[in-house]
Amino acid sequence: MIELYVFRHGQTDWNKAGRLQGHSDIALNDTGISQAKKLAMKFEKIKIDHIFSSDLIRAKSTAELALGELIPMTLHPGLREVNIGDYEGLAKDELPQTFNLDAWLARGENLKFPNGESKEEHRDRIVQTIKEIVASTEHKSIAISTHGGSMARLLEYCENYHQDIILENCALAKVTLQQDQFLFECFL
């Protein structure tokens, strides 16, 4: 059994402003730095063998602040947020009226951002990336520093996850991987 401790990065100025970040490399703001330091307290009694992080600075910085620099970390672009394509950097109220973000969030499995990804493509990328990570290492307790959408897609893929909640910055969930099956254990 593999234990995955999956967490969302801390707040950025774009989070605060309601801008869609996607693959944009936006740093943590002061609130995000504080959130990441608080996340460290949740990890005090958890033994982590290795950190895998999105290669975007907001996820990497959150991992470093929450887990320190003594635990080995590997950056992986497959853990990035959904590719928002043409809408990257826009605020929700700046989106064209022809694109219904609420519909995408609610049931947009195949609704695709122009020149970006659909939820299904994003989920498949995240799940495949994590399966590849697990197959490439002997570590049994792994931290995954990622993004809100990426974390949501992984949780939705879990057999036993049936919640519909907003994942706040620095949300932390424990997921186990047993015989190629992802299981949601709990939020920490």
Active site residue ranges: 9, 81
51 with 74: CB under 8 angstroms? Answer: yes
160 with 26: CB under 8 angstroms? Answer: no
Give 1-54 as a DSSP string: -EEEEEEEPPPBHHHHHTB--TT--PPB-HHHHHHHHHHHHHTTT---SEEEE-
9 with 146: CB under 8 angstroms? Answer: yes
Neighbours of 151 (CB within 10 A): 24
Beta bridge partners of 12: 28
Neighbours of 9 (CB within 10 A): 34
3-state secondary structure of 148: helix
**Which helix (H) or strand (E) segment is 59 a member of?**
helix 57-67
- For the record, the structure tokens of 12 come out as 């950025």
